[in-house]
Amino acid sequence: MKAQAKTHEEINKNLASRSSTQRGSLITSEDCAKVIMLAPHDEGVMRNGGRRGSALAPKCIVHCLKKFSLGLSEQHKVQVIEVVQANNESFESMQLKQTNVITSMLQTKSRSHIVHVGGGHDHIYPLLAALTKCYQQPIHVINIDAHLDTRDDLVEHSGTPFRQFQKLAKERSRITQIGIQDFANAAANWNGMKMDVHSLDKIENDTLGFTNFDRHYLDELLNINKEELTVFSLDLDAINGFEMPAVSAVNPAGLPLMFVRALHRRYQKKMTEYKTPSITGFYELNPIYDCVSGTSAKAVAAMILNSI
């Protein structure tokens, strides 16, 4: 019996039928305990001398996330919403409006999993400002980064958010910096800042070139206190440039992606154990410089999947 060739229409219909088995089927605009907040705006990067394009990252990452299969994992709805829009308003006005939008969202519904996706790393500040308003606990920020992002400049931008945060929250703030590199930071970045800093060189030495680490070592780095609200902030230029080329400022010698993923998984595990909201931020992806296969965006989407 002769095989009958399938038409393009039939093939496309078959592919479309898979949508119900993909993560996109769980994405909604309705209020959910799990939320992904998008900040498609990159003026902060431009103010800091970075490459334009990170404003495209949030939607690009969500597009990748929607394509993942549901598999056997839990199937909870996830709200995806833009908390800022790229327009001609001032940077300062954008930060204030975003803080107010996130504050309203946190007050409207109890959130178990919060994911915030920039844009530049400047977007972590509106998130932290909103958390400061909505929660009474001290706030601990774990920043995975090559840069301290504590510049004391005349204007705010993607390099100033943690100095802004410490000025705002004062004694309620605690900052842990992981992966910091000396060549990526001016000496003035340290002035007046209270931080626990773990340099890339020391971590590499302690782990024998990232080949020997376990959960106890990761716990020491993260230093999570269950009495605090802990935020995991990942500036993607913390990762080796050959593994994460699509960023605002490529890192010639950063943390291995495998190690960053291990840190993130350990953070998620601790939040589950402590029954504390999981709050993660992903910043500085620049899809313009990704490869044709979109491997950088997919790597971030996979970490977000672990966050929800």
- Yes or no: say if 165 and 129 are a contact pair by the CB < 8 Å rule: yes
Stretch 113-138: mean pLDDT = 96
The CATH label, of 3.90.1150.10, 3.10.580.10, 3.40.50.620, 3.40.800.10, for the domain at 25-307 is 3.40.800.10
Answer whether residue 75 shows pLDDT above 90.
Answer: no
Give the model's confidence band at 3: pLDDT under 50 very low, under 70 low, under 90 confident, else very high.
Answer: low
Which pLDDT value is given to residue 69?
A: 87
pLDDT in tens, 240-253: 999 999 998 889 99
- The residue-averaged pLDDT of 157-182 equals 96
The whole-number pLDDT of residue 237 equals 95
What angle in degrees, to the nearest 10, is found between the helix axes of 295-307 and 257-274?
20
pLDDT of residue 7: 83
152 to each of 131, 162, 163, 284, 292, how far by Cα in Å?
Answer: 23, 10, 7, 20, 38
The pLDDT of 126-153, averaged and rounded, is: 96
Long-range (24+ apart) CB contacts under 8 A made by 214-223 are: 215/266, 218/262, 218/263, 218/266, 219/266, 219/270, 221/176, 221/178, 221/263, 222/142, 222/176, 222/263, 222/266, 222/267, 222/270, 223/176, 223/196
Domain spans, the chain: 25-307
Q: Tens of pLDDT along 15-45?
A: 676 667 788 889 999 999 999 999 999 999 9
The predicted structure's pLDDT at residue 4: 65
Q: What is the pTM of this model?
A: 0.93
| 88-114 residue pLDDT tens | 678 999 999 999 999 999 998 899 999
- Mean pLDDT for the stretch of residues 135-150: 97
The confidence score (pLDDT) of residue 1 equals 55
Q: What local confidence, expressed as pLDDT, does residue 146 receive?
A: 96
The Cα–Cα gap between 165 and 10 comes to 55
Q: pLDDT over 90 for what percent of the chain?
A: 81
